[in-house]
Amino acid sequence: MPGFELFGDQERKQVNDVLESGVLMRYGFDGNRNGHWKALELEKAIAKRMQVEHAQLVSSGTSALTVALASAGIGAGDEVIMPTFTFVASFESIVAIGAVPVLVDVDDTLTLDPKKVEEAITEKTKVVMPVHMCGSMADLKALASLCKKYNLLLLEDACQAIGGSFEGKPLGSYGDLGCFSFDYVKTITCGEGGAVITNNERYKTNADHYSDHGHDHVGNDRGAETHPFLGYNFRISELNAAVGLAQIARLDEFIEIQKKNYTILRNAIENVEGVTMRKVPEGGVENYSFLTFFMPDEATARTTQKELVANGVDGCFYWFDNNWHYIKKWDHLKDLKSLGKLPEEVKNGLPDYHKADFSQSDKWLGRSISVLIKLSWTEEEVKQRAERMKNVLESVPETVK
């Protein structure tokens, strides 16, 4: 991770196809395309790889979440349960359609705690949205059971975990809907882009129309298409799709490299006293894009992260203090700071997150460190990195004392 590390002839060939045709838009201009429909081809490739019936490409992972929610009929006042540890896009997509983000604690998976999810369910709850952060997943079996019990949708945000699996199913395909991001720093990239996957034909049709101004895409005359309902512009371009088409074909190659590098690092540190590895639910297989572990306490974690960076371990994250990925610094959500008026359903329905007790999440995030796994490392670089990490982890507890 990320896929741009290994750009090559495959990506250049796909992009050149588009440039030579001159058609950069995914719809229309049939006669000028020279037979190239990159977005359509990528949708088919994603659906096949993710073992689902349908895929809809959009302009970003944020767009994918927004389109997925809208395609399932989620709207004003509906509550969507999401974790305290995620990217800001999770609640942005919910608020964008007038729904209410209900934040729930994470456990040692660093994703939704099923017990806390059940406690948060109300008559307004419509969706449970686990976010598979840093390449690993929520306890999908437990969450699916809750969704069945309370008649809720299970929407997987797999934007950071493409290529992982749960009980033999690709992440994103286990729930009713799944979303991916293909931005510049994801395991596979389009530069900018995202996708919604589902086995539900109605959701696919809705996503197809909604992401293109409500166009029904019937016939071959774009100007004559009708609009069954309101939509917006969340289209991907053919250039972005072309890059993704090359990258999806390389996904298994990338996962194999990540697994090899991840395993070398994990083997070096997992038996160090005081280090505990992040829990992966039974039946889960990571995509190995991050190696995440816990230190004994917050003070040791803070010191360890700083020492790792100081000793040349770049891409080392302490999420507890991160502006984008943890509730602690989401004041713009807590205060509902917006450029314009927000729906009354959002203003009246949003809990007071200034007063919320997320001490359970603090406990896990405060002790956690994540290390990015790169694709471009040489074997020697991985071994050197493993040695540095081991040395720091063995010495830091003494420093803290």
On the CB side of 127, CA atoms within 13 Å amount to 35
Question: Could you give the angle at the alpha carbon of 189 between the alpha carbons of 185 and 193, nearest 5°?
Answer: 100
Q: What sign does the CA torsion over 315, 138, 55, 196 have?
A: negative
- Are 200 and 346 part of one and the same domain? no
- Are 300 and 229 part of one and the same domain? no
Q: For 88-102, how does the pLDDT look when each residue is reduced to its tens digit (9 = 90+)?
A: 999 999 999 999 999
H or E stretch including 82? strand 79-83
Does the structure show a pLDDT above 90 at 1? no
- Are 281 and 226 part of one and the same domain? no
| CATH code, domain carrying 122 | 3.40.640.10
- Are 264 and 312 part of one and the same domain? yes
The structure tokens listed for 36 are: 């190239």
- Are 232 and 330 part of one and the same domain? no
pLDDT (0 to 100) of residue 396: 85
pLDDT band at 397 (very low <50, low <70, confident <90, very high): low
Given 196, 221, 250, the domain boundary residue is: 250
Q: For 44-63, how does the pLDDT look when each residue is reduced to its tens digit (9 = 90+)?
A: 999 999 999 999 999 999 99
- Are 203 and 235 part of one and the same domain? yes
Given 250, 283, 307, the domain boundary residue is: 250
| CATH code, domain carrying 391 | 3.90.1150.10
Does the structure show a pLDDT above 90 at 185? yes
Segment 131-153 mean pLDDT: 98
pLDDT (0 to 100) of residue 401: 47
**DSSP label at 212?**
B
- Are 217 and 336 part of one and the same domain? no
- Are 286 and 227 part of one and the same domain? no
- Are 44 and 96 part of one and the same domain? yes
Whether the Cβ atoms of residue 349 and residue 125 lie closer than 8 Å to each other = no
Q: How far is CA 169 from CA 49, 51, 145, in A?
A: 10, 8, 16
Of 186, 204, 328, 374, which is the active-site residue? 186
Tell me if residue 186 is catalytic. yes
- Are 274 and 382 part of one and the same domain? yes
Report the C-alpha gap between 164 and 158 in whole angstroms.
Answer: 9
pLDDT (0 to 100) of residue 398: 58
Report the C-alpha gap between 241 and 15 in whole angstroms.
Answer: 9
Q: For 346-379, how does the pLDDT look when each residue is reduced to its tens digit (9 = 90+)?
A: 999 999 999 999 999 999 999 999 999 999 999 9
What is the count of structural domains for the chain? 2
Whether the Cβ atoms of residue 293 and residue 110 lie closer than 8 Å to each other = no
Parallel, antiparallel or unpaired: strands 153-157 and 177-181: parallel
H or E stretch including 172? none
Of 138, 42, 26, the residue nearest 84 (C-alpha): 138
Q: Which of 218-222, 304-308, 380-384 comes out lowest in average pLDDT?
A: 218-222
* Residue-range definition of the domain harbouring residue 325: 252-400
37: left (phi over 0), alpha (psi -120 to 50) or beta: beta
- Are 230 and 337 part of one and the same domain? no
Segment 261-274 mean pLDDT: 97
pLDDT (0 to 100) of residue 2: 85
Does the structure show a pLDDT above 90 at 268? yes
Q: Which of 28-32, 180-184, 252-256 comes out lowest in average pLDDT?
A: 28-32
Whether the Cβ atoms of residue 171 and residue 162 lie closer than 8 Å to each other = yes
Does the structure show a pLDDT above 70 at 237? yes
Given 250, 282, 301, the domain boundary residue is: 250
Q: For 285-334, how does the pLDDT look when each residue is reduced to its tens digit (9 = 90+)?
A: 999 999 999 999 999 999 999 999 999 999 999 999 999 999 999 999 99
Report the C-alpha gap between 67 and 38 in whole angstroms.
Answer: 20
- Are 13 and 145 part of one and the same domain? yes
Could you tell me the strand order of the sheet in which 284-285 lies?
Answer: 169-170, 165-166, 284-285
